[in-house]
């Protein structure tokens, strides 16, 4: 009676290939096969964790995993309002530290706004055809892409430094370097030096007065990060469990989150980290392209690249030629769209929003492209209105959801590097679009005008196809559940409905006698087992 289930399970494992992305011996293979088949009738269709390997090298893990399971259940049952009450401090720190993005946005807009500024043209311009000074197109590209090039270098450094020294310390050093880098564009006397300054400023992330304004942000951000708590997940990966507990306590509200809740929360982070260690041995840039992490890295890169492949870059290109009123409306959509996304994220999945956003943008871009074949006033007004709606659609879906998706798709051990490399993909795509879009819209180049919408509609449609096939639904999933879904190579369109048991409490086995415990070495240099830590 058991032959067929065994046979089917063997075929499934062989189809999956390297089941745990590690070389396993025959006995381990048999254990997976027969354990899976024994549970088939009782747990059909459930992706279950195999925690036996973890149990074999950590004593007391059963107590820890029970606490982790309770914390996981609490999080799954938690509503939005309750989550905000408990984690309002975490929300504050997230918003405060995210204000660093203001510096990046300020710098990107700043340099482009100088190309028509009389004082800037007098100092750096060269005589143009009409007798007026201009900034040559080659230098405009160099200045515009300078911060992107520096950003790529800085992102690669950040991915390594965040894991080695911690996100908080890396942030502080970057802000100090930023203060020094701003001196270069402020006192630049030539375009090459100014471009070099743009590159330098891009690594840690006027006309001289606007450049100087950038000095306002680093001291404020340094003051904020100085008092900010360290990442609890990073502390867990450093085996500093007491520090992780203190960090969680600082990020939650004691009125709604008890000491036991804090301990369970740390236990869940320990379990997630150990689960990921059992799936993948390393946490380097090279490990991002091995085993199950290769799929996660690919998806993360495309999630960020999709922001530009959706046709969003056309908005910025056409805005340069638009009227003041249209620009005002376009900019307003950044704010309105973000507020709309808050409501959408609580009701719909990330995959759903990405797909609907791409579909909407593709349809609008087709309409904009069609308007390019008529040259009357009505067509121009319609194109402007469609451009506003396009920006609203983007900022309600792809724009904000991108950051949520990348944070959830990447494993906790590789998250800093994954986000850094994903931003590199975005910067590279931004450079490519910075070359293509001006030529599409320029009367002196390709002169496509609104017809460019057809090109980017095609790009959005292709991106929609990729999203359907590859980007999974992560809403309502814990990091441990996502780890298992990726490990078992569940197709993207089945993520939402697949059941996951990341704790496997029914099949818990005791660790062999003499197995070492999970130890912590706090600042006081006393060694505490996690079991003792939980009892305290």
pLDDT tens digits, residue range 368-383? 999 888 888 788 888 8
The pLDDT assigned to 493 comes to: 93
The pLDDT assigned to 110 comes to: 65
The pLDDT assigned to 43 comes to: 45
How many helices (H) and strands (E) the chain has is answered by 27, 6
Note whether 40 and 143 are same-domain residues.
no
The pLDDT assigned to 23 comes to: 38
CA distances from 369 to 89, 139, 313, 326, 476 (A): 46, 30, 15, 18, 38
Q: Is the pLDDT of residue 261 over 50?
A: yes
- Residue 531 inside a domain? The answer is no
- Of residues 207 and 436, more confidence is placed in 436
| CATH number of the domain encompassing residue 223 | 1.20.1250.20
Mean pLDDT of the chain: 78
Q: Using CA atoms, how far apart are residues 419 and 415, in angstroms rounded to an integer?
A: 6
The pLDDT assigned to 353 comes to: 95
Rounded to an integer, the average pLDDT of 292-316 is 91
- Residue 97 inside a domain? The answer is yes
Q: Is the pLDDT of residue 21 over 60?
A: no
- Residue 480 inside a domain? The answer is no
Query: Which of the residue ranges 240-249, 374-383, 427-436, 496-505 has the most confident prediction, judged by mean pLDDT?
Result: 240-249
Q: Which 8-state DSSP code applies to residue 132?
A: S
Its domain, for residue 52, covers 3-78+505-523
- Residue 256 inside a domain? The answer is no
pLDDT tens digits, residue range 201-235? 655 547 455 556 667 778 888 888 888 999 999 99
Note whether 134 and 195 are same-domain residues.
yes
Rounded to an integer, the average pLDDT of 158-178 is 86
Note whether 240 and 339 are same-domain residues.
no
Q: Is the pLDDT of residue 317 over 90?
A: no
The pLDDT assigned to 489 comes to: 92
**Banded pLDDT at 401 (limits 50, 70, 90):** very high
Q: Using CA atoms, how far apart are residues 133 and 123, in angstroms rounded to an integer?
A: 9
The pLDDT assigned to 47 comes to: 86
Cβ atoms of 168 and 228 closer than 8 Å: yes
Which residue, 251, 267, 297, sits at the end of a domain? 251
Note whether 219 and 239 are same-domain residues.
yes
Note whether 225 and 122 are same-domain residues.
yes
Note whether 225 and 182 are same-domain residues.
yes
The pLDDT assigned to 147 comes to: 73
Q: How many domains is the chain partitioned into structurally?
A: 3
Cβ atoms of 391 and 364 closer than 8 Å: no
- Residue 109 inside a domain? The answer is yes
Note whether 216 and 101 are same-domain residues.
yes
Rounded to an integer, the average pLDDT of 470-487 is 92
Note whether 94 and 71 are same-domain residues.
no
Would residue 515 be called left, alpha or beta, if left means φ above 0 and alpha means ψ between -120 and 50 degrees? beta
Q: Which residues contact 476 (CB under 8 A, 6 or more apart)?
A: 76
Q: Is the pLDDT of residue 482 over 50?
A: yes
Note whether 363 and 433 are same-domain residues.
yes
**Banded pLDDT at 533 (limits 50, 70, 90):** very low
- Of residues 356 and 326, more confidence is placed in 356
The pLDDT assigned to 65 comes to: 83
Note whether 54 and 198 are same-domain residues.
no
Which residue, 228, 251, 274, sits at the end of a domain? 251
- Residue 160 inside a domain? The answer is yes
- Residue 135 inside a domain? The answer is yes
Note whether 207 and 311 are same-domain residues.
no
The pLDDT assigned to 523 comes to: 38
pLDDT tens digits, residue range 42-85? 444 688 877 766 665 666 777 788 888 888 888 888 888 888 89
* Rounded (to 5) percent helix, strand, coil in the chain: 70, 5, 25
Q: Using CA atoms, how far apart are residues 125 and 120, in angstroms rounded to an integer?
A: 7
- Residue 117 inside a domain? The answer is yes
Note whether 347 and 405 are same-domain residues.
yes
The pLDDT assigned to 113 comes to: 63
């Amino acid at each position: 009676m058991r032959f067929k289930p065994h046979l089917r399970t063997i075929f499934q494992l062989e189809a999956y290939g390297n089941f745990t992305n590690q070389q396993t011996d025959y006995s381990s293979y048999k254990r997976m096969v027969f354990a899976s088949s024994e549970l088939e009738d009782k747990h059909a269709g459930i992706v279950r964790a195999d925690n036996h390997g973890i149990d074999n090298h950590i004593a007391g893990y059963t107590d820890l995993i029970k606490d982790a399971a309770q914390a996981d259940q609490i999080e799954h049952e938690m509503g939005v309002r309750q989550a905000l009450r408990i984690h309002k401090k975490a929300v504050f720190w997230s918003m405060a530290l995210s204000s660093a993005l203001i510096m990046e946005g300020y710098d990107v807009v700043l340099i482009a706004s100088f190309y028509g500024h009389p004082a800037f043209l007098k100092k750096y311009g060269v005589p143009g055809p009409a007798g007026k000074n201009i900034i040559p197109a080659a230098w405009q590209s160099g200045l515009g892409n300078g911060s992107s090039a520096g950003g790529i270098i800085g992102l690669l450094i950040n991915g390594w430094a965040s894991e080695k020294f911690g996100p908080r310390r890396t942030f502080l050093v970057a802000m100090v370097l930023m203060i020094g880098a701003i001196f270069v564009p402020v006192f630049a006397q030539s375009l090459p030096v100014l471009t070099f300054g743009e590159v330098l400023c891009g690594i840690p992330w006027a006309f001289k007065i606007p450049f100087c304004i950038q000095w306002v942000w680093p001291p404020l951000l340094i003051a904020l990060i100085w008092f900010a708590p360290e990442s609890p997940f990073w502390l867990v990966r450093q085996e500093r469990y007491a520090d992780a507990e203190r960090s969680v306590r600082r990020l939650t509200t004691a009125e709604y989150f008890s000491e036991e809740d804090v301990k369970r929360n740390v236990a869940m982070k320990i379990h997630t980290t150990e689960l990921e260690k059992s799936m993948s041995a390393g946490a380097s840039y090279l490990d991002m392209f091995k085993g199950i992490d290769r799929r996660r890295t690919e998806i993360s890169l495309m999630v960020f690249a999709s922001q530009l492949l959706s046709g969003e870059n056309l908005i910025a290109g056409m805005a340069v030629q638009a009227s003041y009123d249209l620009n005002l409306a376009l900019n307003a959509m950044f704010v309105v769209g973000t507020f709309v996304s808050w409501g959408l994220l609580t009701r719909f999945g990330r995959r759903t929003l990405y797909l609907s956003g791409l579909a909407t943008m593709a349809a609008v871009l087709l309409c904009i492209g069609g308007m390019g074949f008529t040259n009357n006033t009505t067509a121009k007004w319609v194109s402007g209105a469609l451009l506003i709606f396009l920006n609203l659609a983007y900022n309600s879906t792809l724009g904000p959801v991108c950051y949520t998706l990348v944070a959830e798709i990447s494993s906790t051990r590789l998250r800093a590097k994954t986000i850094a490399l994903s931003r590199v993909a975005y910067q590279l795509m931004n450079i490519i679009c910075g070359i293509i879009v001006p030529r599409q819209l320029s009367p002196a180049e390709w002169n496509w005008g609104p017809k460019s919408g057809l090109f980017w509609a095609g790009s959005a449609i292709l991106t929609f196809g990729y999203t359907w096939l590859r980007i999974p639904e992560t809403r309502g999933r814990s990091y441990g559940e996502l780890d298992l879904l990726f490990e078992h190579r569940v197709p993207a369109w089945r993520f939402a409905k697949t059941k996951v048991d990341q704790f496997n409490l029914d099949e818990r086995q005791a660790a062999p006698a003499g197995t070492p415990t999970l130890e912590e070495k706090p600042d006081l240099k006393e060694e505490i087992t996690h079991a003792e830590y939980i009892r305290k």
